[in-house]
Amino acid sequence: MPKPAAEIERGVKHLRRADPVLRDVIRKAGPFAMRLKRDRFEALVYSILSQQISGKAASAIRRKFLDYVGPEGMTPRFIATLTVADLRTVGLSRQKASYVLDLAQRVHEGTLPLERLARLSDDEVIEALVAVKGIGVWTAQMFLIFSLGRLDVMPHGDYGVRSAIQRLYGLEELPNRQTCHRIAEPWRPYASIAAWYCWRSLEL
């Protein structure tokens, strides 16, 4: 469910007050404009497809995948009927194909009820998702931010966020988890909004 505009506005105002560095980024980047991904299953499939490859390569594989299954076939029920060999034909590695099939099977059988995840806490969502082959904490955090719209997720392992923090705060090297969370402390409880502005700062 999209967060009310008033809550987003409160978050942006909080970040402006709490962090002068981020205040400057917000001024340059403009309004917060993150769009949620409505189809939770599709979002997780695409996250798996995109792992450890360039954005261009990921886009190409996503197009081939969608062409193969068709708009009506992007469902757990249909994808669970496919084989590793089927998915290899659209450019997936054997490993990623097995990950997608594990996800589809779990969702289809109901052991991973995506429609109920919004009722869980952030930690509970992460715990449920990392049980799936190929889904780690980073993918689960992206799901929390971009699919569930959670506003206080700090994706400390995200390279883009770490790169932005290094540049914005004048660090000599990429920050580790402890440093990320220390810098993010003033952002709470709107770390997701801050992370979005970190990503945007890389484009400015």
DSSP 25-88: HHHHH-S------S-HHHHHHHHHHTTTS-HHHHHHHHHHHHHHH-GGG-SHHHHTT--HHHHH
Using CA atoms, how far apart are residues 154 and 142, in angstroms rounded to an integer?
10
pLDDT attached to residue 71: 78
Q: Which domains does the chain have, with CATH numbers?
A: 5-34+152-201 (1.10.1670.40), 40-146 (1.10.340.30)
For residue range 87-102, list pLDDT tens digits in order. Answer: 999 999 999 999 999 9
pLDDT attached to residue 2: 52
The percentage of residues in the chain with a pLDDT greater than 90, rounded to a whole number, is 87
Using CA atoms, how far apart are residues 109 and 162, in angstroms rounded to an integer?
37
For residue range 71-130, list pLDDT tens digits in order. Answer: 788 999 999 999 999 999 999 999 999 999 999 999 999 999 999 999 999 999 999 999
- Judge whether 158 counts as a catalytic residue: yes
Catalytic residue among 19, 67, 152, 158: 158
Q: What is the pTM of this model?
A: 0.90
Chain-wide mean pLDDT for the chain?
Answer: 94
For residue range 2-38, list pLDDT tens digits in order. Answer: 567 899 999 999 999 999 999 999 999 999 999 899 9
